[in-house]
């Protein structure tokens, strides 16, 4: 067997392992494009009512040429709601993931590097956060305050930061005992310089991994709150679509109303999970060799 044949044979398993990640990235890019160009893709606004030629409301109409995904009981176009819902899902997912990773990385860096009473205080705060169940806590807060998308994002950030903080702290405890950190300290580098220049670059891969995980978790938590009736009533999300279908008693009868948001949530979460799996393979050489 020639060297070329050997290279081809060895490259096939690698490509086969990377294929799910590539497909997942394409699916995620499709959702991002749909959210970015929602005003140009959706034929109606998120709360616009569809009318027929006689100016009558087209209520609970199955899919057709005029309304591709059918309509709701109030005559709203399901396809338009589906497209606009992608924008809300990505806004919540991206902002909540970014905020939680920034907070978790900061807490993990400070706690792991300085230790002592700072580590004790931050880790006890993390334990308290771990002890709070998300849905009951979020429902109480939203019931007291006015429901809004910003509040939902803040609640998701409060729920997600704790795991990255714990994992990054453990990584920092290992890194600060490495020789390159000792050398930097012996050279007179300040604590801030050591954290930013020596330790932070080594924990960023973990931060990126948890950011990807946070996107899918944020989308699912927003959908769960919206389905339970605690979402922002001024926006249209996939969870709000499912909540409206449930309240209208159309979960079984109007399948065209329920199927698009349900499938979108499942496909998006699976795609982001496959991206995190591929990223983890790249991050961990032992997994890459399996």
pLDDT digits 0-9 by tens, 226-237? 999 898 888 889
Sign of the dihedral defined by the CA atoms of residues 38, 63, 225, 213, in that order: negative
Taking each continuous run of H as one helix and of E as one strand, the counts in the chain are 13, 0
Q: What is the pLDDT of residue 17?
A: 57
For the ranges 9-18, 156-165, 203-212, 224-233, which has the lowest average pLDDT? Answer: 9-18
- Mean pLDDT (the chain) is 85
Of the two residues 279 and 227, the one the predictor is more confident about is 227
Instruction: Report the C-alpha gap between 109 and 84 in whole angstroms.
Output: 38
Residue 282: the pLDDT is 67
Q: Which band of pLDDT confidence, cut at 50, 70 and 90, is reported for residue 273?
A: confident
CB 194 within 8 A of CB 162: no
| Confidence bin at 6 (pLDDT 50/70/90) | very low
CA distance 113 to 227: 41
Domain boundary assignment for the chain: 32-289
Is the pLDDT at 51 greater than 50? The verdict is: yes
Kindly report, residue by residue over 213-223, the tens digit of the pLDDT. 889 899 999 99
CA distance 111 to 257: 48
pLDDT for position 101: 94
Q: Which of 23-32, 53-62, 79-88 has the lowest mean pLDDT?
A: 53-62
Q: What is the pTM of this model?
A: 0.82
pLDDT at 283: 61
Q: Give the tokens for residue 228.
A: 């339970």
- Please report which confidence band the pLDDT of residue 252 belongs to, taking 50, 70 and 90 as the band edges: confident
- Mean pLDDT check: name the lowest of 51-60, 164-173, 255-264: 51-60
Residue 30: pLDDT band (50, 70, 90) is very high
Closest CA to 46 of 207, 221, 263, 232: 232
76 DSSP β-pair partners: 49
As a whole number of Å, the CA-based R_g of the chain is 24
Tell the residue number behind the tokens 């709150």, with chain if given. Answer: 225
CATH number of 32-289: 1.10.3720.10
CA distance 173 to 122: 14
Residue 115 has a pLDDT of 87
Mean pLDDT of 224-253: 88
CB atoms within 10 A of CB 119: 17
Convert the pLDDT of each residue in 89-131 to its tens digit. Answer: 899 999 999 999 999 999 999 999 998 899 999 999 999 989 8
When pLDDT is averaged across residues 29-53 and rounded to a whole number, the result is 88
Instruction: Give pLDDT, residue 213.
Output: 87
């Amino acid at each position: 067997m020639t060297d070329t044949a050997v290279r081809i044979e060895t490259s096939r398993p690698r490509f086969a392992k990377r294929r799910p990640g590539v497909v997942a990235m394409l699916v995620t890019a499709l959702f991002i494009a749909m959210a970015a160009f929602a005003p140009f893709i959706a034929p109606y606004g998120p709360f616009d009512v569809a009318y027929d030629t006689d100016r009558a409301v087209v209520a609970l109409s199955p899919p057709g040429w005029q309304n591709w995904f059918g309509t709701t009981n109030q005559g709203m176009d399901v396809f338009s709601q589906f497209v606009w819902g992608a924008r809300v899902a990505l806004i919540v997912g991206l902002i909540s993931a970014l905020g939680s990773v920034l907070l978790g990385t900061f807490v993990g860096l400070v706690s792991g590097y300085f230790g002592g009473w700072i580590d004790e205080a931050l880790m006890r705060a993390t334990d308290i956060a771990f002890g709070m169940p998300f849905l009951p806590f979020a429902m109480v807060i939203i019931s007291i305050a006015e429901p809004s998308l910003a509040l939902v994002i803040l609640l998701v950030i409060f729920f997600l930061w704790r795991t990255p903080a714990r994992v990054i702290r453990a990584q920092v405890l290992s890194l600060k005992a490495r020789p390159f950190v000792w050398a930097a300290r012996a050279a007179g580098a300040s604590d801030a310089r050591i954290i930013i220049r020596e330790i932070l670059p080594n924990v960023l891969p973990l931060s990126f991994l948890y950011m990807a995980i946070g996107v899918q978790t944020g989308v699912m938590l927003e959908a769960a709150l919206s389905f339970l009736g605690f979402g922002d009533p001024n926006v249209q999300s996939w969870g709000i679509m499912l909540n409206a279908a449930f309240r209208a008693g159309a979960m079984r009868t109007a399948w065209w109303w329920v199927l698009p948001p349900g499938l979108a949530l499942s496909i998006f979460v699976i795609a982001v999970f496959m991206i995190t799996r591929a990223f983890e393979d790249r991050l961990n050489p032992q997994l890459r060799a399996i």
